[in-house]
Structure 1
Amino acid sequence: MLNMGYGQFSFLLFVCFCQFSFSSSIPHLCRKDQSSALLKFKKTLTVDPSLVLCNFYYYTSSWNMSIDCCSWDGVICDEMTGYVIELDLSCNSLVGKIDSISSLFQLSHLERLDLSENNFSSSHISPEFGKFSSLTHLDLSWADFSGQIPSEISHLSKLQSLVLSTSYSTVQRLAAHDFRLLLQNLTLLRVLDLTGVSISSTIPLNFSSHFTMLVLEQSELYGVIPESIFHLPKLKMLDLSSNYQLSGYFPKTKWNSSASLIHLNLLGVNISGNLPESLGYLTSLNTLFLALCNIWGPIPESLSNLTHIEYLFLAGNFLNGTIPSSIFSLPSLTNLELSNNHFSGQLEDIKSNSLLSIDLGYNQLQGHLPKSIQNLVNVTNLDLSFNNFSGSVDVSFFLDLKHLSSLGLSYNSISFTNENKVNFTLPESLVYLHHFQSLETIDLRSNSLQGSLPIPPNTTRFFFISENNLSGEIPSSICNLTSLGMLDLARNNLKGAILQCLGNISSLRVLDMHHNSLTGTLPTTFRFGSSLRSLNLHGNKLEGKVPQSLSNYKELQVLDLGHNHLNDTFPMWLGTLPKLQVLSLRSNELHGSIRTPMIENIFPNLRMLDLSSNAFTENLPTGLFQHLKSMRTIDQTMNAPRYEGADGYYQDSVAVVSKGFECEIVRILYLYTVIDLSSNKFGGQIPSIMGELIAVHILNISHNGLKGHIPPSLGSLSLVESLDLSSNHLVGEIPAQFASLTSLEVFNLSYNHLEGCIPQGNQFQTFENNSYEGNDGLCGLPLSKGCGNDSVSETNDTVSGLDDEESNSEFLNDFWKGALMGYGSGLCIGLSIIYFMISTGKPMWLARIIVELEHKIMMGRRKKQRRQRNYRKRNNQL
């Protein structure tokens, strides 16, 4: 200061004086009633930092009476009147209740209100919101409001933007009448987002011509989309996705909105027709989602006009022909999803440098992989699985794809070579993986890979290389993959002991090495911690006991140790695993009686128990049956285990005997409940408590030494589809209650000592002689031996009257045999999906794709919602 010139010092004093005078002369702009209302509103809310999604600074922390409320964060006032006209508390981690007496509604001059992305889960949307007569923008999205949306919202005649989208964990409803009233009254509306709101209505014919954004995703809409929607002149975003009862068709001529439309999402809407050439007019389009739309035919060449397109999703349809080369030349395209269609022919050269993700899986593409793949230097995801690609690929083929994080080549006929003599340390690596330092997912299932197991880079999280011809021992270096979450080495020729060090990979959730030639004992000191959810070692040559250390895996859901040489008594301590759903110990050398300890909660969630082909003795385990809670209750919400992050690549598979055939089925846990105790040495009577296991679909206690009568209580198994009591010493009559088992498809009582009349009606009309052979005392249909006054001629008359039903049964039997035996490898891949489609009436075209897409859709929703929110923010003034 002492060195400062006089002029500079005088100027500084002048500035300070002016600032002081100016600030002291300005009155508070905010009205007292407005600041009071805001502070009262703040007191009803709390901030929960654990809910943080976007803001780490909370606006309400700046609210205090010492500062003009018009300067508070999130608050804007009218400069003339001092009334609060804008309130933005979006994504502020607020928790609380907004009821009809909330002081929020004292801010009657509000023009813009944004409370989105908070937690008001105890609140309904109050009718008081309808009294904000000046409101032009209202956003209550993702704030966990629930219940009925009040009709009073349609009174807000000045609204230009209404966003009420909801999370999928809450339920909001809008009456069909109120939906039509809303569109009729809000004539100035430009933005409407009702994502997740249950409307259950058709779409009205008339819309405001001002619409720039219309989002009605997953709103339970039905009927036909009015074509007028496609002609809204200012429309930039149209999203009617996930309304599976909605149908429609595209305009055949130029759309009025074609010059402005940027985002079009009709995922799951039944378009049912060809892709029209008119799509080529949408030259501003950035995003096109037409997955699961039941469209067919070729891709029109006019799509080459979409020079601004970044996201192109046409997955899960019936598109056919070759993929036009123009698709691979679109200059802005980053994400291309054409999986689960019927594309054929060879893959054209890929000329786009912008592509980041390509999914062409589940088609009929063939020939060699195009060399242009080597030029995709920016690609992070490449999925060519489930096609007919063939030929040799050198290990250096993917060398330049430095950013690749997910590679899918499974279920093709590709072999790998190393003609370029790439220098690497693996003894006989078939895929050069160490150059892909960012690679997280590697899928090489069902190819022609030979030699030793290749070891991927340390960044790999999901490694699938099952169904190849790999041999030798598992290299210990695989234990260096400390981020590994899933390891699938099934159906190879690997041998040697299970590596002890695998237990050190704490992140491992799935370990699948079934159908190899592994030997030795199961490691007794596995330290997987709480992560392991699925362990499948079925079909190896393992010996010894079932290690009690498995009881430490409290997250374990699937345990399959079947078809080994384990020699032990029944490991009842596995019943302490709270989440175990599947336990298969079939075809081992287990022995002794099964005794249940006097403790509660044994096997509380078990749905599949397979102890067949062992040497268990004494009576059937009545005490165990009393504990099987999940088998005693029909739970329609039961889901198969999910493994987040694997992008739907891995599904648990378990070998069972179903419909008389042994097969391996996948995704079965929410469809099948199984008890298989066959081919043991059980004696005594069948306990009547087995009739309380009403959720059972497959019950097999054949090939034992069971005696006595069949308990009538088994007639309560209303869901049972396969019931096998054959090859025992059962006596007496078949319970008449069995005639009520209308789900029964396979029924086997052969080779017992049963007598009396076979029950008639329902499913019993479909069973053939072999269901009853070896029981000389039985009579009645379908046997030629009549009961009482019955005669063969009467029997024949009855049979002739059943021709139609028996032919239907024959068709079903043929279907199941085809489903179970039609795979050369003996696998029944997808059986449970087929069963689900038939039992629910869903179309078969959906079955083949829903598994692969459901996880992608779920994981992408939040990202898309965030993108939509940012879009709204950027275009709030449109």
Structure 2
Amino acid sequence: MILNDNNLIGEIPSFVCNLTSLEVLCMPRTNLKGKVPQCLGNISGLQVLVMSHNNLSGKMPPSISNLTSLQILDLGRNNLEGAIPQCFGNISNLQVFDMQNNKLSGTLPTNFSIGSSLISLNLHDNELEGEIPRSLANCKKLQVLDLGDNHLIDTFPMWLGTLTELRVLRLTSNKLQGPIRSSGAEIMFPDLRIIDLSNNAFSKDLPTSLFQQLKGRRTVDQTMKTPSYLGGRYNYQDSVVVVTKGLKLEVVRILSFYTVIDLSNNKFEGHIPSVLGDLIAIRVLNLSHNGLQGYISPSLGSLSVLESLDLSFNRLSGEIPQQLASLTSLEFLNLSHNYLQGCIPQGPQFHTFENSSFDGNDGLRGFPISKGCGNNPVSETNCTVSALEDQERNSEFFNDFWKAALMGYGSGICIGLSIIYFLISTGNLRWLARIIEELEHKIIMRRRKKQRGQKNYRRRNNRF
């Protein structure tokens, strides 16, 4: 029975429990309210139960754990409250357990059994407490684990790295703390694509050993022409909330090639490890609001598909690596509120960023925060080349000028000597005397006119 997006209004009809041969019951976005009936546990052949995006309230009935054939249980985005029954961890065929955006409290089930079929566990945005149950390591097929936006108190679950199918690990906005240390295992998180540990209290250095293990991000699959999704059977769509390009977005039906590292709003310190440059499949990298120091690693220029980079509100110093200008896919950049200095790199993408991307770095110069940058190697090179070209042009001009001048001077001397020789040989020197007198008269008249002009100019100035 599939009744998607209908305006049913009211409680779940009781006759549904009499449909004992029912395999699929999908009633999302139907304005249902009231409690989830206990009698649903009587539909022994039920494989899919989806009642998300409604107004259901009350507690989850433990009888649902009797549905041994159940594969998908999606009661997300309701107003359900109370604890999750421990028996839910024993549903051996359950592949999807989605209870996100409810008001569930208490601890998570601690008895996930060996051989569990669980692929997706989404409990984000509830009021769950306690630790992350170690029995989740028994869920060898787990691909999506979203426990974000709860009140969990624990350290980083490095032991989850043994789950070779895990692609999404979202633990944002909890009370997780302490350093992230390697477990020493050779293979850890080999296929992890999205890791969101933001808004916790993780401390010490960034987890270099963890980055080295993320082999699923070291290659970009160029052959993937059409998106491949996780989930999708019986209209179920995996979804995860990510912060990208400064916005919080919900990625529905998680793209297997969408890769995110978000460690923002923690207490990390130390340097940005250069090994991050090896994770060339990353599309979103957010290390903002920490205590990171030192230089921005030039290796980040190798992240050829990076779309969003946020390193704001740290203690980074030095210059912005010129290598970042080669990131042609970069659409969002935030380096504000650090101690960066020097020239802002220039490139196609950097010309699209506004002043806010560089605010709070008093030592930065260049576009877009200022018109020019004297230390810009590109501009210096251009200036040097143009100067050399001008110098060469000037040199050629003066060489040609002096050649012409010497030729004219030589010709003038020859002509003048010829005229003097002619006058002397004829004995008629009166012509020469007249020419000299006329030249002398013209020179005297020009001097007098110049003196008059200077006197008139002084008189005008004295009047003012």
TM-score by length of 1: 0.41
CA contact (8 A) 1:486 1:509 kept: yes
Cα distance in structure 2, aligned partners of 1:528 and 1:538: 24
1:789 to partner: Cα distance: 8.8
Summarize the alignment of residues 203-222 of structure 1 with structure 2, pairs less than 5 Å apart.
none
Residue 641 in structure 1 maps to residue 230 in structure 2: yes
Residue 411 in structure 1 maps to residue 34 in structure 2: no
1:439 to partner: Cα distance: 1.9
Structure 2: segments with no counterpart, 5+ residues: 377-464
Cα distance in structure 1, aligned partners of 2:93 and 2:228: 23
Which residue of 1 is the match for residue 452 of structure 2? none
Summarize the alignment of residues 316-465 of structure 1 with structure 2, pairs less than 5 Å apart.
407-416=1-10, 429-430=12-13, 432-454=15-37, 456=40, 457-465=43-51
Cα distance in structure 2, aligned partners of 1:592 and 1:758: 35
Matched residue SS, 1:762: coil
Which residue of 2 is the match for residue 532 of structure 1? 118
The one-letter code of the counterpart of 2:93 is: S
Cα distance in structure 2, aligned partners of 1:719 and 1:429: 47
1:497 to partner: Cα distance: 0.6
Residue 481 in structure 1 maps to residue 67 in structure 2: yes
Summarize the alignment of residues 622-771 of structure 1 with structure 2, pairs less than 5 Å apart.
622-636=208-222, 637=224, 639-642=228-231, 646-647=233-234, 649-771=235-357
Matched residue SS, 2:248: strand
Deviation per residue, 1:509-533 (Å, 9 max, x gap)? 0000011111111121122733110
Q: Which of 117, 127, 130 matches 1:541?
A: 127
1:788 to partner: Cα distance: 2.1
The one-letter code of the counterpart of 1:433 is: V
Cα distance in structure 2, aligned partners of 1:413 and 1:623: 52
Matched residue SS, 1:682: strand
CA contact (8 A) 1:754 1:776 kept: yes
CA contact (8 A) 2:87 2:109 kept: no
Deviation per residue, 1:721-747 (Å, 9 max, x gap)? 011000000001111111110111111
1:504 to partner: Cα distance: 2.2
TM-score by length of 2: 0.77
Structure 1 residues 482 and 506: alpha-carbon distance in aligned structure 2, compared to 1, 3 A threshold:
same
Matched residue SS, 1:706: strand
Structure 1 residues 413 and 660: alpha-carbon distance in aligned structure 2, compared to 1, 3 A threshold:
farther
**Matched-pair identity in %:** 60
Cα distance in structure 2, aligned partners of 1:451 and 1:642: 28
1:667 to partner: Cα distance: 2.1
Structure 1 residues 431 and 410: alpha-carbon distance in aligned structure 2, compared to 1, 3 A threshold:
farther
Deviation per residue, 1:526-571 (Å, 9 max, x gap)? 2273311000010111111111110011000110000111101111
CA contact (8 A) 1:539 1:564 kept: yes
Residue 581 in structure 1 maps to residue 167 in structure 2: yes
Cα distance in structure 1, aligned partners of 2:127 and 2:105: 5
Structure 1 residues 442 and 528: alpha-carbon distance in aligned structure 2, compared to 1, 3 A threshold:
farther
Q: Which of 370, 376, 391 matches 1:784?
A: 370
Which residue of 1 is the match for residue 418 of structure 2? none
Deviation per residue, 1:820-866 (Å, 9 max, x gap)? xxxxxxxxxxxxxxxxxxxxxxxxxxxxxxxxxxxxxxxxxxxxxxx
Cα distance in structure 2, aligned partners of 1:730 and 1:512: 40
Structure 1 residues 699 and 765: alpha-carbon distance in aligned structure 2, compared to 1, 3 A threshold:
same
Which residue of 1 is the match for residue 379 of structure 2? none
Moved more, 649-658 or 634-643: 634-643
1:663 to partner: Cα distance: 2.4
CA contact (8 A) 1:430 1:450 kept: no
Cα distance in structure 1, aligned partners of 2:375 and 2:196: 44
CA contact (8 A) 1:450 1:469 kept: yes
CA contact (8 A) 1:512 1:534 kept: yes
Matched residue SS, 1:754: strand
CA contact (8 A) 2:308 2:331 kept: yes
Cα distance in structure 2, aligned partners of 1:533 and 1:614: 25
Q: Which of 41, 58, 80 matches 1:494?
A: 80
CA contact (8 A) 1:515 1:539 kept: yes
Matched residue SS, 1:415: coil
Deviation per residue, 1:578-636 (Å, 9 max, x gap)? 11111011110000000112221100111111100000000000011111000112134
Which residue of 2 is the match for residue 595 of structure 1? 181
Quick one: higher RCO (CA 8 Å, sep 6+), 1 or 2? 2
Cα distance in structure 1, aligned partners of 2:247 and 2:366: 27
1:462 to partner: Cα distance: 0.8
Q: What is the root-mean-square deviation in Å for CA atoms of aligned residues?
A: 1.7
Matched residue SS, 2:115: coil
Which residue of 2 is the match for residue 182 of structure 1? none
Deviation per residue, 1:137-182 (Å, 9 max, x gap)? xxxxxxxxxxxxxxxxxxxxxxxxxxxxxxxxxxxxxxxxxxxxxx
Which residue of 2 is the match for residue 17 of structure 1? none
Residue 604 in structure 1 maps to residue 187 in structure 2: no
Cα distance in structure 1, aligned partners of 2:193 and 2:346: 31
Matched residue SS, 1:490: coil
Cα distance in structure 1, aligned partners of 2:271 and 2:110: 37
Cα distance in structure 2, aligned partners of 1:785 and 1:751: 21
Summarize the alignment of residues 226-245 of structure 1 with structure 2, pairs less than 5 Å apart.
none
Cα distance in structure 1, aligned partners of 2:14 and 2:262: 41
Summarize the alignment of residues 52-201 of structure 1 with structure 2, pairs less than 5 Å apart.
none
Deviation per residue, 1:163-207 (Å, 9 max, x gap)? xxxxxxxxxxxxxxxxxxxxxxxxxxxxxxxxxxxxxxxxxxxxx
Residue 571 in structure 1 maps to residue 157 in structure 2: yes
Cα distance in structure 1, aligned partners of 2:181 and 2:265: 19
CA contact (8 A) 1:504 1:528 kept: no
CA contact (8 A) 1:505 1:528 kept: no
Cα distance in structure 2, aligned partners of 1:553 and 1:462: 20
Moved more, 479-488 or 431-440: 431-440
Cα distance in structure 1, aligned partners of 2:19 and 2:349: 58
Cα distance in structure 1, aligned partners of 2:9 and 2:231: 31
1:700 to partner: Cα distance: 0.3
Cα distance in structure 2, aligned partners of 1:672 and 1:431: 42
The one-letter code of the counterpart of 1:717 is: L
Structure 1 residues 788 and 408: alpha-carbon distance in aligned structure 2, compared to 1, 3 A threshold:
same
Deviation per residue, 1:5-48 (Å, 9 max, x gap)? xxxxxxxxxxxxxxxxxxxxxxxxxxxxxxxxxxxxxxxxxxxx
